[in-house]
Structure 1
């Protein structure tokens, strides 16, 4: 499963369509390449192109949060494609930061983040396994339920 030539086949098998990244809505760029590292800015969860609004533990359950994180992974794949021109340039996903818009009582941030992490492992195989932090926050831009950023190593 670690053969990079299979990345696009795995994307097709997963029913994922790669879309170009949206335009930033503030003063930042979607990605920065430095040496062999690629830094992606935070991606918020979206449904039908609009922010996926909600707060885990208040008006959204964990399963929905997992789906939102998976939706972010699909968007991130599009950004990685735009940044590299070829996903086979990704040597490894190194680090993921997952922010979950959640109530003070919510305790399943790590499970929500699995929606993102498991999707990257499905697509990149062992190269998709990464270090990760996941935690709750009081608010995310546009009221989105989840936001994820990552660092990848390039070939």
Structure 2
């Protein structure tokens, strides 16, 4: 419960887990979890939509990225039962629904990265890719997927 307490101390709550398709939110291979792309929604309702750039500013997109991280952690909890089993966040991929001339995907991704560092300390400082895309499912602003190592 240490990690969940930290999340609460930071002013966040874990959303309920839901998926929008025929896939597993988390696939476990040994002590590594592959977390499917998580979008910024709560209870099946999109909270952050639109393209970063002219339509949505960087702060809005960073908020979307943080909600994606919370959804990722909720999915992990549903798979392993306790977030304290997480050893480290290995890698995240942050996809940003972007205007053609928007080139600050790495700054948007900092919203996700900083939250993971705030929660897990150095074990949350993951390898990362930040990618601009022309569209995401349901027109969401950000999607985040992750690779996480857990204790055996």
Given candidates 127, 130, 144, the residue that maps to 2:140 is 144
List structure 1 runs of 4+ shifted beyond 3 angstroms: none
Distance apart, 1:6 and its partner CA: 3.5
Given candidates 86, 90, 95, the residue that maps to 2:91 is 95
Render the CA deviation track for 1:12-56: whole Å, top value 9, x for unaligned.
20122223311x222211111001110100011226742221001
For 2:16 and 2:52, locate their aligned partners in 1 and report how far apart those are by CA, in whole Å: 28
TM-score for the superposition, normalised by structure 2: 0.92
Q: Which residue of 1 aligns with 2:112?
A: 116
Q: How many residues align?
A: 150
Q: Which runs of 5+ in 2 are unaligned?
A: none
Q: Which residue of 2 aligns with 1:125?
A: 121
Q: Which runs of 5+ in 1 are unaligned?
A: none
Q: Which shifted more, 70-79 or 118-127?
A: 70-79
Q: Which residue of 2 aligns with 1:38?
A: 33
Is the partner of 1:119 in helix, strand or coil? helix
8 Å Cα contact 1:20-1:82 kept in structure 2: no
Given candidates 1, 11, 23, the residue that maps to 1:28 is 23
Q: Which residue of 2 aligns with 1:50?
A: 45
8 Å Cα contact 1:53-1:145 kept in structure 2: yes
Q: Which shifted more, 129-138 or 25-34?
A: 25-34
Matched, 1:67 2:67: no
